Structure 1
Amino acid sequence: MTNGAGKWSVGAELGRELREIRERRGKTLSDVALAKVGSRQKLSRMETGQGPWRYADVKVLCELYGLSALDTALFCDMALASSETTFSDPSNPARFGLYLRMEGRAQALTVVTIDVIHGLFQTPEYHAAMQQDWIYPSPEHAEQQFKQRQARQIAFWNRQDVHIESVMSEAALKRVVGSRSIMKEQMEHLHLLGQRDGVKIRFIPQDFPSAPGLPGQFTLISTNIGDAAYVEHIDGGRILSNPTVVTDFRNAASLASKASRDIGEWQ
């Protein structure tokens, strides 16, 4: 995994988001300053992750840029957590709000899973079969989640600079999700993706003496502002940036990779 340029932080990530949005809206720092959000110097400090972050300032910026209610809520939450080393992404319908942004532009990803294939590698049929018995608040939520997964994959795999390593237990390959025909198509999809430049798909054989590096599912994210780890849970997920914690996850991923084999060896 490639190291980022420095230590990742919620404030630095928020600054990058707001800077990119401002530039897409065609506004200069002076334009924003004239809207009485703050001085050019203050806005520059915010956009470079130096703060100070205030909920009210971020909310005004979101209104100025015409952001949705979900994006506004996410960025305001980030402002409140800007001094923390962890950030909790909320559950549906705003689930993975920050993580998806980071995933889509990461310099490199390392994903470790146990008994399921990671979302970026799932075929639509595999994903639908996995979700068919999940209880959603409404059919609209279920449809939204499915569409989000497909949009997420398109955004990621259409990149020309993809760098990702996936390590999973062999159990994920043997577990029949939906039907054997769905699994056959899913395996063909994995083999095809595994041939792409910058993509490594590996599995740990079930007869391996132990399962090093598999304390649970996690993702290591390398960005141009630093590295972070992402751990998913039933209500969403947590992004962790404490250097010691990130190093522990990186060591776990390294052990898992050393114990694994290339997907091309699995029949």
Structure 2
Amino acid sequence: MPLRSSPTARQARLGAELRKLREQAGLSVTEASRRLGVGQTQISNIEASRFGVSADRLRALAHNYSCTDDAFIDALIAIAGERKRGWWEEYRELLPAGLLALAELEHHAARLRIAHTSHIPGLLQTADHAREVFRHAVTPLTPPEVEHRVSFRIKRQVVLYRHDPLPCDAIIHEAALRMKFGGPQVTRAQLEHLLEMGEREHVTILVIPFDAGAYPGSGQSVCYVDGPVPQLDTVQLDQSHGTVLLDDEAQLSKYRNLLTRMESAALDEEQSRDFIRGIAKSLRG
């Protein structure tokens, strides 16, 4: 079996979860390999995502690790059985790996909870708005690089339009709504797009106005990705140096609580729509 040169984010997560199960069972790589009847190198390569793993072997590992959560095991088997690479692979030589990982997470997610302070969430941006955002990237991008990122961002949005659209709850601060990326016309079109998306049954948009004052998580941008089972949830954070993915349970719990508290500081859906309409109306003229 050839070694993988560039495992996907999901493949890496599978290996990490198998390593976590082994450690929770108190088994060394040596003991795990003995119980499975394979060499130590094979266990190490599976956990490092350099090797794939069959459904039967994965069930055997779960049994050896005393894991009896059938839903979790089935979810891991589903990841292990994926053979076809997603559309995002065509960008592998063009964009940072973290962006590809985000698209992969969104494609397989059960639900998204997003909170942004100074930017409109990428899945809800228009192409013109996204283009202006990328033109002001911390590390300057060439015009072709800008267009690659714009097309990638728009393609990510297919998860909101497919036949089984991804449920998406977005919390947006008033600061992001009033940032005039591209001027009044582009900003107005972006706000009108938010209103249109908010009318979709699977999209919820909540606004935190300036008048709300201080609130938990101010200044942070968070994307909480629900996996098929809670053990496979992921938090994605945007940092100046790139995308950061978190999956430790203590971190997941912290960000679930943070998003719930941010939602409590926001206007309800109807009030949020009226608020966005008011800002859009002020840009007409």
Alpha-carbon offset, residue 174 of structure 1: 1.3
Would you say 1:44 and 2:46 are equivalent positions? Answer: no
Higher helix share: 2
1:52-99 deviations in whole A, cap 9, x for unaligned?
Answer: xxxxxxxxxxxxx7979x96xx9xxxxxxxxxxxxxxx9934342222
TM, length-normalised to structure 2: 0.62
| Alignment partners' CA distance in 1, 2:155 and 2:189 | 20
Please, which of 264, 274, 277 is the counterpart of residue 265 of structure 1? 274
Mark the runs of 5 or more structure 2 residues left unpaired by the alignment. Answer: 1-9, 18-45, 47-51, 63-82, 279-285
Q: Is the 8 A contact 1:93 1:141 kept in 2?
A: no
1:158-203 deviations in whole A, cap 9, x for unaligned?
Answer: 2433211000211111111111111111111101100111211011
Structure of larger gyration radius: 2
Q: Secondary structure at the match of 2:217?
A: coil
Counterparts of 1:76-155 in structure 2, within 5 Å, are: 92-134=95-137, 135-136=139-140, 138-155=142-159
**Structure 2 residue identity aligned to 1:185:** A
TM, length-normalised to structure 1: 0.66
Q: Secondary structure at the match of 1:207?
A: helix
Aligned to 1:24: none
Alpha-carbon offset, residue 213 of structure 1: 3.0
Aligned to 2:248: 242
User: May I ask how many residue pairs the two structures share in their alignment?
Assistant: 206
Aligned to 2:164: 160
Higher strand share: 1
Q: Secondary structure at the match of 1:185?
A: helix
Greater length-normalized contact order (CA 8 Å, ≥ 6 residues apart): 1
Percentage of pairs with the same residue:
19
Instruction: Please report the RMSD computed on the Cα atoms of aligned residues, expressed in angstroms.
Output: 3.5
Q: Secondary structure at the match of 1:221?
A: strand
| Alignment partners' CA distance in 2, 1:49 and 1:139 | 51
Q: Is the 8 A contact 1:104 1:155 kept in 2?
A: yes
| Alignment partners' CA distance in 2, 1:159 and 1:46 | 34
Alpha-carbon offset, residue 10 of structure 1: 4.0
Please, which of 172, 176, 179 is the counterpart of residue 172 of structure 1? 176
Please, which of 200, 204, 218 is the counterpart of residue 222 of structure 2? 218
